[in-house]
Amino acid sequence: MLEIHLSVIIPAYNEEKRIAKTLREIHKYLKTQNYNWDILVVSDGSKDNTAGVVRGLSSEIENLRLIDNKENHGKGYVVRQGLLEAKGRYKVFTDADNSTSIDQVEKMWPEFEKGFDIVIGSRDIKGAVLAVPQSRIRRITGDIFNLMVQITSGLFGIWDTQCGFKGFTKKAVENVLPKCVIDRFAFDPEILVIAKKMGYKIKEIPVTWVNDPDSRVGLKNMVKMGIDLLKIRWNLITGKYR
């Protein structure tokens, strides 16, 4: 069996209206590449027809798989589930709204070749492009959350932990992800905190990002993210991540 070079994981919750477009765009890019690849959609207990739409595309899009969870667990849970299930030598998870196009994975390859274990997209470093800017309130809440991340988790120098475009080596996934316990809002910082603690090399790369006006991340969720950050801090203090 030929080795899969790249696995693309897409966490999805009630995405029946846009998952088909996203999958077609990812497939259009991947089928032109000279390496083996697959796409894994993980439905997080969707109440709509997300799973049915993905199944319906299986004859059109080769190497497409679906994990259809019947219960909602949280984005962190299904991202971990997808990353651990995927077989690729490199694994990238990207959001179902396609805010960061899959072709930007090309910026990751040079960093993996340099020895970085985790390469994360960033909207806040030099070279990043916000094709459709966020609202002022989203920018402010995002800056506040990033400051909280820096203070509580020690991820100094990483300016955007929340961008939904992150790449991992297979080894990093297998060793870091099983230690994670945050299922919902602050799962990204937790992954990076544990990876840093274990000595894995993390690299931020600038990406082009298109804001989704229908984004579900509101003030209420920002509060929950803050609570999760405090849990991560407590887990660090108590040695839970050893």
DSSP 8-state class, residue 28: H
Q: How far apart are CA 242 and CA 240, in angstroms?
A: 6
216 pLDDT above the threshold of 60 = no
- Cα(168)–Cα(166) distance, rounded to whole angstroms? 7
Any idea where the domains of the chain sit in the sequence? 1-98, 111-242
Average pLDDT over residues 228-236: 93
Report yes or no: 43 and 54 within 8 Å, Cβ to Cβ: yes
Residue 63, sorted as left (phi over 0), alpha (psi -120 to 50) or beta, turns out to be left
37, 25, 101, 28: which is closest to 65 by C-alpha? Answer: 37
* Integer Cα distance of 129 and 111 in angstroms: 19
pLDDT digits (tens, 9 = 90+) for 107-152: 999 999 999 999 999 998 999 998 876 666 666 777 777 788 888 8
- What predicted TM-score, i.e. pTM, was given to this entire model? 0.92
* Backbone φ and ψ of 221, nearest 5°: -70, -30
- 70-95 pLDDT per residue, tens: 999 999 999 999 999 999 999 999 99
The fold of 1-98 is: Spore Coat Polysaccharide Biosynthesis Protein SpsA; Chain A (3.90.550)
Q: Is it the case that residue 222 has pLDDT exceeding 60?
A: yes
